[in-house]
Amino acid sequence: MQRICVIGGSRYFGKLLVRRLQAAGHQVTVINRGSTPPPPGVEHLVVDRDDEAALTAALASRTFDVVVDQVCYTPVQAAIAARAFAGRTRRYVMTSTIEVYDPATAALPTVPPGTPVTEDTVDPASWRVAMDLPWHDDAYLEAHYAEGKRQAEAVLARAAGFEFTSVRSAHVLGGGAQEFTGRLAHYAGRITRGEEITVHAKALPTVFIHYQELADLLRWATMADFTGPVNACSDGPLDVHDLAAIIATQAGREPVYRTVPAGDEASAFSFDRHYAMSNARAKELGFSFAHTTDWLPGAVAETLTAAPSPTA
């Protein structure tokens, strides 16, 4: 049994992670602002992680084997956590994102289309941190989500006193109520209703992961001893046409496309730039991934079942 603290853990794969850690016999503590209580038997600390004094007071004399941070978006949050958990944990696992590799958001090394992007493309140990940017402004943070994650990783990677790893997640999908982003439902709805999907003329592939697989990978990362970033994506990249075709097969409708020029806004998952990740490092460390086409049809079926009728 290990003592594991989950910051966030109130929805989607974080909620599932908490249940799976508890089922495995670990002593779990959840820290969030109290909007959603954890399962019975899980310790709940209600505190705003942005309030350093309140967080330190809530932690009191507690120590943990591992901290899993589901909701770290800025270097400011990361710095608060690094100070609050210094000397309290052996290992710190942060949930990060594929967006750290988006070449539209930072000057990154060029990766040729078709070459899976590896973790060393963004090295948190050497990434510049700017604490004085307006990270507390919601509009700024939304517009700089990828950079916030890069800098948060950088702060925690340089923190003393604990091992650190970041799990850079692909686009997370589920089915029905389990897909909190609504993107799969968006596609299912538009295809079912015969509405246009906007795509780029040369839409490039991206990578996905099922929310259950991501929960499994995060649980695996809590028990592991590697450090540094690790990419989390199912095998089998798909482009927007591949995704739409899987939905269309089950919906019984042909997708309708409208092409937009490169650089223009298109539907989610239509990309005119390449940053599909490699999952080779996680495999080398011992994690086995499913293929996207193993779970995506089931998620689509759940989404279609949950969606209202096109005539409703």
- Which tens digits make up the pLDDT trace of 69-122? 999 999 999 999 999 999 999 999 999 999 999 999 999 999 998 899 999 999
Amino acid identity of residue 112, one-letter, is P
Element (H, E) at 2: none
What is residue 310's predicted lDDT score, i.e. its pLDDT?
Answer: 45
Mean pLDDT of all residues in 146-153 = 98
What is residue 238's predicted lDDT score, i.e. its pLDDT?
Answer: 97
Indicate the SS3 state at residue 295: helix
**Residues 257-280 pLDDT 10s:** 999 987 788 999 999 999 999 999
Does 283 or 177 have the greater pLDDT score? 283
Report the chain's mean pLDDT, rounded to a whole number: 93
What is residue 263's predicted lDDT score, i.e. its pLDDT?
Answer: 79
Distance CA 31, CA 131 (A): 24
What is residue 92's predicted lDDT score, i.e. its pLDDT?
Answer: 98
User: Across the strands, what pairs with 277?
Assistant: 117
| Percent share of the chain, pLDDT over 90 | 85
What is residue 312's predicted lDDT score, i.e. its pLDDT?
Answer: 31
What is residue 261's predicted lDDT score, i.e. its pLDDT?
Answer: 84
**Pairing between strand 27-32 and 3-7?**
parallel
Backbone angles phi, psi at 95, to 5 degrees: -80, 115
Distance CA 31, CA 43 (A): 9
Distance CA 187, CA 197 (A): 8
H helix runs in 252-291, sequence order: 280-284
Residues 6+ apart with CB under 8 A from 220: 286, 287
pTM of the model: 0.94
**Residues 5-44 pLDDT 10s:** 999 977 778 889 999 999 999 999 999 998 788 889 999 9
Domain architecture of the chain: domains with CATH = 3-306 (3.40.50.720)
**Pairing between strand 89-97 and 196-200?**
unpaired
Model confidence band, residue 306 (pLDDT cutoffs 50, 70, 90): confident
Tracing tokens 């780029």 back to the chain, one arrives at 200
